[in-house]
Amino acid sequence: MTNDPTLQPSKELAYILGVLKGDGYTSKRSIGLCAKDEVFINSFAEALRRVDLEPHFYRVGPKEEYFDVRVHSKALSNWLRTLGLEDIEKLVQGEVFTRAFIRGFYESEGCYHVQRYSHGNHVDTGVRVQMSNTDRELLELVQRLLNEIGFDFRLSKCTSRPPLKQEYLLLISRKDIAEKFISTINPCIKNGVGLNG
């Protein structure tokens, strides 16, 4: 493998872009992801390998509780800096690429939440799926892409107190639609596995 990536549209590149628009990072000479979840780190690393990049792994944090995977590629970093949201939208057109981009973004910025409701002796469960970010235009792009694959997420403001930046939220709170969303994008984390309900 080299530090010259394959930049032709692919589901792996779409996934990488989704992650980078969420928890991932880009510098002048490298890109990467720092997270606690090793499954997420390995998924991102495998996508990097599939576009001909060699990931490097590090342990970081006061107790080395975070995994950091990164690639050193000035060519990729320069290319990413030229991309606006309109460019990304064009790159991830088509259902396979759209699902991959949303999967990467959801694994970065998403949340799968099980709610329980008591009705006398009966307990119902609900599922809420959401994604949040401080970039409203980015979430509007994600919302359009979600609509293209059949999901009508609601976009709203989160409660924020200064000096925190205003945060925005994409949300689906119907259990059947939330579960269909998880089934469609097939995230490696935040998918309800291991949760009751």
CB 33 within 8 A of CB 19: yes
Secondary-structure class of domain 11-93 per CATH = alpha beta
| Integer Cα distance of 34 and 120 in angstroms | 45
CB 137 within 8 A of CB 50: no
Q: Which long-range contacts (CB under 8 A, 24 or more apart) does 151-154 make?
A: 151/177, 151/180, 151/181, 151/184
Degrees, nearest 5: CA angle 127-133-136: 115
Q: What are the domain boundaries of the chain? A: 11-93, 107-185
**In which band, very low, low, confident or very high, does the pLDDT at 89 lie, cut at 50, 70 and 90?**
very high
107-185 folds as Endonuclease I-creI (3.10.28)
| Integer Cα distance of 27 and 14 in angstroms | 19
**In which band, very low, low, confident or very high, does the pLDDT at 120 lie, cut at 50, 70 and 90?**
confident
Whole-model pTM: value is 0.91
